[in-house]
Chains A and B, each alone.
Chain A
Amino acid sequence: MIYLQLFLSFFQIGLFSFGGGMAAMPLIQNQVVDIHGWLTLTEFTDLITISEMTPGPIAINSATFVGTHIAGLPGALISTVGCVLPSTVFVSMLAWLYRKYRELAVIQGALAGLRPTIVALILSAGLSILVLTIWGPDGFSWGIQSVDPVAVLLFVTGLFVLRKFKPNPILVMVGSGVIGGACYLLLP
């Protein structure tokens, strides 16, 4: 039953993504690409690109995108509900506890332990996207001819610009889309 699977997958994504922003990315990749194969890694990367360029949290954007892709509008709605439900319950409980205890050492400790973990998981997910970008769907190999030089150049330039000038990330993505797109279309 596809609706139940979508609901359970996004429920897990909503339940285990701590740390905001990109923290949900490795979990979404795990459920959507690795476990269920609902999206290819390329489609998933497109989804991250789209999410970064549109308003709204990555998890909600993904729920809608994947849900629509797999089971139309009902799929999108069910995935979104699944994604929102766990944090709604959790945050309400926390608000109630917070009034009673004010300071919750256990939660603070868990979060402190998760911070380096989240970095590692985003790095890991980012690395699989980078390998796809530079080497293509067949994955990493040693031969220099399997490297996409345009992608390498765009990645290095993009990262340099982001570190040095701290522009809006949307500009970097649009820039690399326009320049890269022109290169792929015009170069032999």
Chain B
Amino acid sequence: MKKSPGNYLQLFKSTFLLSAFTFGGGYVIIPLMKKTFVDELGWLEEEEMLNIAAMAQSSPGAMAVNAAVLVGWRLLGLSGALISILGTVLPPLIILTVISLFYDAFRTNVVVSAVLKGMMAGVSAVIFDVVITMAGGVIERKKLLPLLMLAGAFVAHYVLHVNVVFIILFCGTLGALITLHDRKTGQEHI
């Protein structure tokens, strides 16, 4: 694609708007990105978008940022990637900066703190809803090893207070080794 100011501006505008209107984060951003970059602008093929989604999902960090990096890179190289990151990061940066300022000023207000206390129960419910759905996905596959890893990781973190990073590194390495072993022997443990 041509590295013209117009294209950079369009890329910035698109990523900024996508980020500003994506509530709930994560997977929601992919269909919206497809709509913008494949259907409306015609800058990417549908299959490219699917590859980008797969890679964004396989990398650490926020999926919206990862996808933006890949789209920007693919369209306009390194400078495109930087513009996309900027467009994606600016909306939450601006919104949360404003909220933080209000938060520090208002947290001690009686009404605000009562409402936030009520909201804690709501956000607990939202987290447990996510956990139930995700755990359901693990249980459905009826494999012993993932269930053991789920239980083990929970005990390690909640009861034994093992650092999260160690748990993630350990389980990630274990998963990779078992998958490689399974591919050689034609088994499926995970």
Contact = CB atoms under 8 A, between A and B. Distances in A.
Given A113-B178, A170-B23, A22 B127 contact: yes
A95 interface: yes
B20 A162 contact: no
B122 interface: yes
Given A55-B91, A57-B25, A110-B173, A91 B66 contact: yes
A15 B60 CA distance: 6
A7 to B, nearest CB: 15
B55 interface: yes
A180 B168 CA distance: 36
Contacts of B59: 18, 87, 90-91, 94
Nearest to A73: B97
**What range describes how many residues of A lie at the interface?**
35 or more
A176 B60 contact: no
A172 B122 CA distance: 6
Given A87-B59, A126-B128, A172-B126, A151 B120 contact: yes
Interface string A113-124: 111111111111
Interface string A54-89: 111111110011001100010011001001101110
Interface of A: 12, 14-18, 20-22, 24-27, 30, 42, 45-46, 48-50, 52-61, 64-65, 68-69, 73, 76-77, 80, 83-84, 86-88, 90-92, 94-95, 98, 104-130, 132-133, 150-152, 154-155, 157-159, 161-163, 168-170, 172-185
Given A52-B126, A54-B23, A113-B171, 11 more contacts: A21-B25, A24-B62, A30-B164, A76-B93, A84-B61, A90-B61, A106-B176, A119-B138, A121-B168, A159-B129, A162-B126
